[in-house]
A = this chain, B = another copy of it.
Amino acid sequence: MKNMKFIALFLILMIPWGTMAGKRQINMADLGVTPQTPDCTPAIVKCLQECKDDKNVTILFEKGTYHFFPDFGKDKYCFVSNNDEGLKRTIFLLEQVQNMTIDGQGANFIFHGFSNPFVIYDSKNVTFKNFSIDYVRPFHSEAIIIQNNSDGIDVMIPESFPYRINNGTLVFTDGKSKEERQTTVSREIVYPYGSLLEFDTNKRETAFMARDYYLGNTPLVAKDLGNRKVRLFLKDLKGTVGNTLVFASANRNYPGFTVSDSENLRFENITIFHSGGMGIVGQRTHSVIVESCKVTPSNGRMISCTADATHFSNCTGKIELSHCIFENQMDDATNIHGIYVQIARQVAPDEVFVQLKHTQQLGFDFLQKGVPVEFVQGLSLITKGNAIVLEAERINKDFTRVKLSEPLPEGIKVGDAIGELRKFPVIHIHDNYIGKNRARGMLLNCRGKTIVENNIFHSPGAAILFEGDANFWFEQGGVNDCTIRNNVFDNCLFGVWGEAIIDVQAGIKEQRDVSRYNKNIKVYNNTFRVFDDVYLLHAYGVENMEWKNNKRVMTNDYPSVRQRDSLYKIEYCDDIKISEP
């Protein structure tokens, strides 16, 4: 008996892999990973490597704070839709994984330096739950406005955003700059910024009617005034003393979760305090559920993610966002769309070279043999015909040669676009809070059944935007069955990003009289809390819209800046039925 006990104990000690309900269960604590571990990266890389052929694994952390440094992460070159491509140093790299759950059980994951927390490729049935992610030094920077000058402003930069003045320009750093011998190939670790935006320090949202200052990717001319006070020289730059000036990250290299070419992803009770790019980005992926998650800043910061909270390109299946908070991110809460390629050259009636045009869509290879596509006029957004891809030869990240089952239809020529006619996903967005972020709430650009209900929007721009174009962003959109009901639009459009709380900005430049890119939109039973005569609706190029039982409630929460005779701006539409309560 004693021997048996000893053997059992020995087995337990030897095999940290437990088994529970048919699933292999890995307790990271058994692998020596605890909040005391100085760098958890090597252990998690090893663990993922060792269980990569298992098809049913749950990885458990104990509650606590864990630190991840980039040094021993994995490298993977990723083209990430609407983020920046690159060789991504990745902490949790999941490739060809099946039936995996990573359960933090309340853990906080803190990332140091430049790395991508989670990258998932070619995987199925993956669940992330019960943890948060954050960075010690965020990818953006912040400062408090202390004075307006005729040629710029003075700011005070908190210690959490290290900086230095280099030859008269402001550079944000990791604070570890050491005196090193300089050479022609010296590189400093910097956090480049590409634009500026003022936030209201008290309300913790974009300042009333603040606009972006685009810097053209050069640092600001600046002068150190001592005691972390800095004078910024930029013509027309003004701000309210006491407000927060956000230096937006110039790049989107470090999304929180990058999901590509995968199936059935679940995010449950995940908090993204920060990411250097989007929070969750899914591309060419079938079904993503985001439930009870939060995107929200930590440590007194104004900004959470440095781009959209979530974003989905050329996805299928179901996309559900529910019971989430998406706040203070530097771009929209979500955008669900496809990607258009532009026809760059025609080499035969049925053969073309197509080009990905938006630099953050390069390498997005959705054209594969057998894929059904549509031909779309670049300026009118009118679909002129369909075909099947017979051959797709990738030339490089920009260009693909495509042979099609049909010749280019009448009216389609070089400069026009091709989009994928996949099985568009069903969208259900419900019971979320969205607000205080830069720009819009939701960009709905999906032709699958779309329901947006029971949400609270407090967006400085349009709460809901129908966009899509084939001449600037090259985002394929055009809803076909969209219902917006039982939402509260709480003082939206206190900023500059949009024309109406529910806004249609499809990029129709030609044939406005006939192009109807968005169709079949129902807006029922919503409450619009407004502080002035903001447009509730701007419809443009829409066919069949029903607006009923929506309530408008006046507030005094912001100064009135718009006086109008109508709350609805309708242009180039058919069958718009508006009934006021």
Bound-complex Cα distance A359 to B183 (A): 12
A360 at the interface (CB under 8 A from B): yes
A interface, how many residues as a size bin? 35 or more
Residues of the B chain whose Cβ atoms lie less than 8 Å from the Cβ of A45: 395
Stretch touching chain B among A73-81, A313-321, A539-547: A73-81
Chain B nearest CB: distance from A489 CB in Å? 24
Q: Give Cα A396 to B74, complex, Å.
A: 6
Q: Counting chain B CB atoms within 10 Å of each CB, which of A212, A248, A398 scores highest? A: A398
A399 touches B71 (CB 8 A): yes
Set of chain B residues within 8 Å of A77, measured between Cβ atoms: 77, 87
A61 to B361 Cα, complex, angstroms:
36
Q: Which of B181, B185, B194, B215 contacts A252 (CB 8 A)?
A: B185
When distances are taken between beta carbons in the complex, the residues of chain B under 8 Å from A360 are 185
A395 touches B186 (CB 8 A): no
In A201-238, the 8 Å CB interface with B consists of 212, 214-221, 233-235
Chain B: minimal CB distance from A503 (Å): 17
Q: How many Å lie between the Cα of A184 and that of B359 in the bound state? A: 12
Asked whether A187 is an interface residue with its Cβ less than 8 Å from the other chain, the reply is: yes
- A502-544 CB mask vs B (1 if < 8 Å, else 0) is 0000000000000000000000000000000000000000000
A470-484 residues with Cβ-Cβ distance < 8 A to B are 472
Contact of B187 with A359 in the complex, beta carbons under 8 Å: yes
Contact with B along A55-77 (1 / 0, CB 8 A): 00000000000000001111101
A169-200 contacts to B (CB < 8 Å): 169, 171, 181-188, 190, 194-195
17 A-B pairs in the complex with CB atoms less than 8 angstroms apart: A72-B396, A75-B396, A82-B185, A85-B87, A166-B215, A167-B216, A167-B218, A167-B221, A167-B234, A169-B169, A169-B219, A183-B214, A184-B212, A184-B248, A184-B330, A187-B359, A218-B218
Min CB–CB distance A264 → chain B (angstroms): 29
Contact present for A395 and B72 (CB under 8 Å): yes
Known pairs A72-B395, A396-B72, A396-B73; A216 contacts B359 (CB<8 A): no
The verdict on A89 contacting chain B, using a C-beta distance below 8 Å, is: yes
- Whether B396 contacts A89 by the Cβ 8 Å rule is yes
Q: Give the distance to chain B from A46, nearest Cβ to Cβ, in Å.
A: 10
Q: Does any Cβ of B come within 8 Å of A168's Cβ? A: yes
Complex Cα distance A75/B396, Å? 6
Chain B residues with CB under 8 Å of A472's CB are: 181
How far is it, in angstroms, between the C-alpha of A186 and the C-alpha of B188 when the chains are bound?
A: 23
Task: Kindly state the separation between the CA atoms of A485 and B38 in the bound complex, as whole angstroms.
Answer: 56
Chain B nearest Cβ from A152, distance in angstroms: 10
How far apart sit A183 and B82, CA to CA, in the bound complex (Å)?
Answer: 13
Q: Which of B187, B216, B395 contacts A217 (CB 8 A)?
A: B187
Q: Which of B185, B194, B234 contacts A184 (CB 8 A)?
A: B194
A331 CB-CB contact with B under 8 Å: yes
Instruction: State which residues 391-413 of A face B: CB under 8 Å.
Output: 395-399
Chain A residues packing against B (C-beta within 8 Å): 45, 71-75, 77, 82, 85, 87, 89, 166-169, 171, 181-188, 190, 194-195, 212, 214-221, 233-235, 248, 252, 307, 330-331, 359-360, 395-399, 472
B residues less than 8 Å from A73 (CB atoms): 396
In the complex, the chain B residue whose C-beta lies closest to that of A165 is B218
Q: Which residues of B contact A75 (CB under 8 A)?
A: 396-397
Task: Tell me which residues across on chain B come within 8 A of A235, comparing CB atoms.
Answer: 167
Q: Which of B71, B233, B252, B399 sits near A72, CB closer than 8 Å?
A: B399
A30 to chain B, nearest CB (A): 20
Q: Specify the main secondary structure of chain A where it touches its partner.
A: loop
Contact B217 A188 (CB under 8 A): yes
Cβ-defined contact, A182 with B396, below 8 A: no
Residue on B nearest A89 in the bound complex, by CB: B396
Cα(A360)–Cα(B184), bound, Å: 12
Minimum distance in angstroms from A341 CB to a CB of chain B = 14
Known: A72-B399, A166-B215, A185-B252. 4 other contacts (CB 8 A): A167-B216, A184-B331, A190-B217, A219-B219
Q: Is the CB of A221 within 8 A of B168?
A: yes
Question: Which B residues touch A182, using CB under 8 A?
Answer: 214, 216
Name the B residues within 8 Å of A85 (CB-CB): 87
Minimum CB–CB distance for A169 against chain B, Å: 5
* A169-B221, A396-B74 as given contacts; A214 in contact with B186, CB under 8 Å: yes
Report yes or no: B184 in contact with A215, Cβ–Cβ below 8 A.
no
In the bound assembly, the distance between CA atoms of A221 and B223 in angstroms comes to: 11
A171 CA to B330 CA in the complex, in Å? 27
Residues B215 and A167 in contact, CB atoms below 8 Å apart = yes
Residues of B within 8 A of A183 (CB): 214
Chain B residues near A331: list those with CB within 8 A. Answer: 184
Task: Please report the C-alpha to C-alpha distance between residue A182 and residue B167 in the assembled complex, in whole angstroms.
Answer: 27
From residue A228, how far is it (CB to closest CB) to chain B in Å?
19
Is B185 a contact partner of A220 (Cβ separation < 8 A)?
A: no
Distance from A279 Cβ to chain B, minimum over Cβ atoms (Å): 16
In the assembled complex, the Cα of A89 lies from the Cα of B397 at a distance in Å of: 9
User: Quick check: A398 and B220 within 8 Å, CB to CB?
Assistant: no
Query: Which of B87, B219, B359 sits near A218, CB closer than 8 Å?
Result: B219
Q: Is the CB of B397 within 8 A of A87?
A: yes
Q: Are B185 and A359 in contact (CB under 8 A)?
A: yes
Distance A384 CA – B285 CA, assembled complex (angstroms): 54
CA distance A5 to B80 in the complex (A): 58
Contact check, A188 vs B171: say whether CB atoms are below 8 A apart.
no
